[in-house]
Chain A
Amino acid sequence: MNERPARSGLEPLARVEASVPTSRPQTLRTAVRINIRGRSVRLRGLRLPPTGIWRWLGILGPGLIASSAGNDAGGIATYSSTGAQYGYELIWVMLLITVSLSIVQEMCARLGAVTGRGLLDLIRERFGVGWAVFAVAVILIANGGLIVSEFVGIGAATELLGVSKLFTVPTAAALIFYLVVFGNYRRVEKIFLLMTLVFFAYPVAAFMAHPHWGEVARGAFVPKLHRDPNYIFLLVGLIGTTITPYMQLFQQSSVVERGADRARYGPERVDVYSGATFSNLMSIFIIIATAATLHAIGKNNIDTAADAARALEPVAGHFAGVIFAVGLVGASLLAAAVLPLATSYAVSEAFGFSKGVGLDFRRARLFFTLFTGLIIFGAAAALTPNLPVIKLLVWIQVLNGVLLPIFLVFILLLINDQRLTKELKNTRFYNVLGWATFAIITLAVAIMLLMQFLGLWGVKLFGS
């Protein structure tokens, strides 16, 4: 005879024995004891905040994703060149950039949480349609170019691993499309966060290359300046590639989409700071890996990130090269997903279209159409034979360079607008750091633009 208690409904209720269902939970959540009108009650239905590692993992999100997306194919190429040409000498710059990146990204996260609105949304309302349209036009061109370069990065890295780009680039595009269009924000965020794990490939590659840690420490804390144009170019390039307008756009819009508000802003700040620190630490490991291998044997010229991966193989072993390439695929994939999203957020905010990964295609048609269009464009262009990728990247850098100081001014003005940010407006300390960042970036961008334009006429700044 079946020993399991019979389901209710077969006998009159009065005769049914009360039974414990077999699926009853084994353990129950800890109850919260609260006191209501002098009576102590135990409630298991209230949510206790997560503790320990889960608390920290729960905090990570837009800050880590936005900063890590900056370590894309272009970024890896710049960091690799830095390591190959100047060894550990420019690591101190990365430490300074970490502070600047943290400040800029934090202000955007705070604006997003305090206002519940994206950056372009606020620019449109506070500074007018003219600035908004200008920003959108530049973003479309600059980010469009960057998306192409990310898919080029995916293609190049997977070919290093022996898989044809004709297969991997469309597959990557389809994967990103599926993830964003059919996912909700929470799921997309989790997958993006998982993607950042590939960046651990760089510390592994760096350790396998057996660097001289004393030299690394000296490079990090003892600034050494050179007057040669390559040095200046790389210095400016490091700033330009680490702090890019799309990172601010994505940061603010995704904080909004995540549902952060002024009451629950604290964790966002932790996310931003840890994200900026993590991503720049990974950049430093790229510099260390290439410095320990390529610079040490006098191989100074690297044109692309894929070259760096290939170049590591004979020096640091086959696996170091493979690991570097895996990191490059992951980094490019993350940036290839973040960039079209940031662009779609920006355009939708500027023109008042419905937006958000959490919405379906029917509710945010223009947002998803733009997102899809950018992915198709990026993947198709990346498969175009003889694409002048390096030239493309240079012009993208110019456009982003023009936009970045303008964005920084907007961000600083908005965050100091008492009507918008109320008690969360910038402190004096933050303003000093913010405006100092603006001054340094503007100077760096001005030098870069000058070098680019003078270069067109064959004139070289800072000597030959």
Chain B
Amino acid sequence: MLSKLRYFRLVDNGGRQYVLSDIAIALLESDYPAVTQFLYRNSEGEQMMLPWHTVKGIDWRHSRINVSSFDSAKSVTEESLRKEVLLGRDVIDALVLDLHNRRVTRANDLWLEEENGKLLLKAADTSSFAILRRLSHGLFGSGPSRAPYDWKYIEFLRGDPHAVGNGAGYHMRIKRLPPGEIAGLCRSLPYLHAAELLTLLPDALAAETLAAMMPDRQVQVFGEVEDEQAVRLLARMRANDAANLLRRLTVESAESFLKRLPKARSEKLIDLLRYPEATVGGIMSNDMVTLTLDQTIREALLRLRERLKQTDFTHFLYVVESEASRLLRGTTSLQDLIVADDERRLHEIMNIYVTTLDPLEPADAGAYRVLDSHLAAMPVIGREKQLLGIVTVDAAVMQVAPQSWTAQAPKIFS
């Protein structure tokens, strides 16, 4: 236990001894980081660092660490210690992610074990007994730990979104969690920790995680990531999620991001941002597949292969008069398209009786129409009957559900 080890003395062959002040670990070396250096202050008050290889053995009974000599110890400054991960300074008492239980907790004590000539950080103790143990210097609460969490499943954050760029290391097991669970963890973290977490994720996962966050937290976290990453995330998010995020930023920031996004993406977002958020246009998405009236099924399927790589909503396919006019003429489902004869034309299999929404209809009314229809989505058409977008059942649920549900609401169709 670190709580015990912190009071150990370093003793060499000649009987010289110093009180241990902290312990450095190699965080990324393995699942269980090994102790690399011991820190102490010498008789002149200088901060010294003694490498692990000088250790001959740890005498747990007499609270001492026997070392061969202090000759290999080096003087260190606070500045040079910045890049080290120190158990006392950085890890104990810090907020950590317990990935196993999907929660944010505090490392009240750390479990260290000797194994194959190394001293390894094996677990974090998050129980209140660990606090009792520390406060009583081991007098109470020193029985078997009630909540030792395997270090392998602990992610340790610095509370600095720039730490990733500055070379801080992470286990990265967090990447294995679904975006909703990561967003749930971000909810319990301070916003700088949450931004750091987002920064260390691959862009695709980070974009989904950002989209799954509560609106207020989303804006806080987004404001802390570097501009380049922010643009990449906006480019990867679903169009309606990205538009919703832009709505919550200041006009100046939204404008700046729209200018920096790739042109096609920016145009798509501008089309969504034309409508106030309380209208159907404000909750619609324009990530859908359109096909033209005169295409054969074979042509349509060929075209779909490319389109489906970029498009999010694929349950329904929207048949328009031409790509230029985008006048909606009917809809068909992916299933109908696949089972239809290759030589038939789209206008022969499409459904021409389509319930549509107006973009300026109130969002709540539009959302209830989608929910009442039990359809996966409903198209939104303009005055000239041109297809503007769709309101998916997910967007409809998000619109009418209490705000606290938004983080949990599944996104099946968008």
Chain A contacts to B: CB under 8 angstroms: 7-14, 16, 18, 20-21, 23-25, 28-29, 32, 34-37, 41-49, 115-117, 121, 124-125, 128-130, 133, 184, 256, 259, 261, 263, 351-352, 354, 358-360, 363
Contact = CB atoms under 8 A, between A and B. Distances in A.
Contacts of B216: 259
A25 B217 contact: no
B251 interface: yes
Contacts of A16: 385
A166 B385 CA distance: 66
Given A13-B329, A20-B358, A352-B106, A261 B220 contact: yes
Find the residue from A21, A29, A45 having the highest chain B CB count within 10 A: A45
Contacts of A256: 190
B274 A128 contact: no
A7 B276 contact: no
A21 B403 CA distance: 27
Q: Report which residue of A16, A28, A129 has the largest number of chain B beta carbons within 10 angstroms of its beta carbon.
A: A129
Contacts of B135: 129-130, 133
B275 A11 contact: no
A129 B131 contact: yes
A358 B354 CA distance: 40
Contact of A8 (B250, B259, B282, B354): B354
Interface in B95-124: 95, 103-106, 108
B246 A46 contact: yes
A34 B246 CA distance: 14
Interface stretch (B43-51, B54-62, B332-340, B359-367): B359-367
B362 A23 contact: yes
B188 interface: yes
A45 B239 CA distance: 14
A124 B192 contact: no
A45 B128 CA distance: 49
A115 B217 contact: no
A34 B251 contact: yes
Given A24-B360, A45-B275, A115 B190 contact: yes
Interface in B323-366: 328-330, 352-356, 358, 360-362, 365
A84 B338 CA distance: 88
Given A124-B93, A125-B94, A256-B190, A13 B358 contact: no
Given A128-B93, A354-B188, A44 B356 contact: no
A345 B282 CA distance: 36
Q: Size class of B's contact patch? A: 35 or more
B87 interface: no
A18 B385 contact: yes
B317 to A, nearest CB: 14
Contacts of B224: 261
Contact of A28 (B128, B246, B254, B360): B360
Contacts of A45: 243, 246-247, 272-277, 281-282
B404 interface: yes
A131 to B, nearest CB: 11
B353 A9 contact: yes
B248 interface: yes
A36 B266 contact: yes
Given A18-B384, A47-B248, A129 B403 contact: no
A420 to B, nearest CB: 9
A212 to B, nearest CB: 50
Contact of B126 (A11, A12, A117, A352): A352
Contacts of A35: 255
Given A43-B274, A360-B404, A124 B217 contact: no
A42 B362 contact: no
B270 A8 contact: no
Interface string B249-275: 011001100110001001000101111
A43 B270 contact: yes
Contacts of B220: 116, 259, 261
Given A9-B355, A41-B274, A184-B404, 11 more contacts: A13-B329, A24-B360, A25-B278, A35-B255, A36-B259, A36-B270, A44-B273, A45-B272, A261-B220, A352-B105, A360-B404
Contacts of A7: 355
A28 to B, nearest CB: 6
Nearest to A43: B273
Contacts of B311: none
A69 B273 CA distance: 42
Contacts of B246: 45-46
B354 A354 contact: no
What 5 A-B pairs come out closest when comparing CB atoms? A352-B106, A9-B355, A116-B190, A45-B273, A259-B216
Contacts of B382: 18
B176 interface: no
26 contacts: A9-B356, A13-B329, A13-B356, A14-B329, A21-B361, A28-B276, A36-B255, A36-B258, A45-B243, A45-B247, A45-B275, A45-B276, A46-B273, A47-B248, A48-B251, A116-B190, A116-B192, A125-B94, A129-B108, A129-B131, A129-B134, A261-B191, A261-B223, A351-B106, A352-B95, A363-B188
